Structure 1
Amino acid sequence: MSLAVDPASAEPPFRQLKGQIVEGVKRGALTPGTRLPAVRKLAEEVGVSTATAAKVYRELEESGVLEGRGRSGTFVSAADLPGSVLARAAEEFAERAAGSGFGAEEAVAAVRNAFGNLG
């Protein structure tokens, strides 16, 4: 997954980066155990200060999305593996349903029906 900051955006770079990482984890694009770039490298790649990049990582570590492993680096936390797997499965299902011409109401009804048939 590629992280980027849009300088023309009204949203501050800090929020852009933090949101992209959280969204990547939720969608399964950043899976548990994925190593993220070092703070300096991230700052250089996206064009923000190292303080901004460090703040993004620090806040995401505090919320449990990321985990710092000292000199080994910063990694996507395994704490929400079921949540990220479910989000990715839902996204794939929604894409397939929409691609087949079904709307949200029909897709949700199909999921409810499938759960009803489980047991």
Structure 2
Amino acid sequence: MTLRLDAGSPEPPFAQLRAQLTAQIGDGTLRPGDRLPTVRALADELGIAPNTVARAYRELEADGLLVGRGRAGTFVTDPAARGGADDDHAAAERAAASYVEAVRSLGLDPREALAVVRRALGV
């Protein structure tokens, strides 16, 4: 697992971390059952505050991609255990809410934010 944060990016570190972990889970770099580093260990490795890592982990848990097992650690979930279309819709809603939060923090106009989404979707 290789993670890098861009200090010059307008995207906040927790969002960069979340996006990279989501991508690595999606492409199979991180597989179901893989244990992630502790919050403190990853924060130290990346040179960021532990709360930043904790936020990314919490949001990924809410998305159903990770599961925290207390002292045992944080693990990548099994896609079969993530549920079906209803869970996908809920995950999309959470992703949209996160995007809105990021857009607002950047001060982006709502019309431009929608244009960014349309370009990303290719529509």
Q: Secondary structure at the match of 2:57?
A: helix
CA RMSD of aligned residues (A): 1.7
Q: Could you give the per-residue CA deviations for residues 24-62 of structure 1, whole angstroms, max 9, x where no partner exists? A: 000000000010000001111112111111011111111
Q: Secondary structure at the match of 2:67?
A: strand
With normalisation by structure 2, the TM-score equals: 0.63
Correspondence 1:1-119 to 2 at 5 A: 1-78=1-78, 80=79
The answer to which of 68-77 and 6-15 deviates more is 6-15
Number of residue-to-residue matches in the alignment: 82
Partner of 1:105: none
CA distance in 1, matches of 2:4, 2:46: 5
CA distance in 2, matches of 1:11, 1:58: 18
Q: Secondary structure at the match of 2:8?
A: coil
Shift of 1:11: 1.4
Q: Secondary structure at the match of 2:75?
A: strand
- Is contact 1:5-1:47 (8 Å) kept? no
Q: Secondary structure at the match of 2:33?
A: coil
User: Which runs of no fewer than 5 residues in structure 1 stay unpaired?
Assistant: 84-119
Shift of 1:3: 1.1
With normalisation by structure 1, the TM-score equals: 0.65
CA distance in 1, matches of 2:4, 2:49: 13
- Bigger Rg over Cα: 1
Q: Could you give the per-residue CA deviations for residues 51-79 of structure 1, whole angstroms, max 9, x where no partner exists? A: 1110111111111100001100000011x
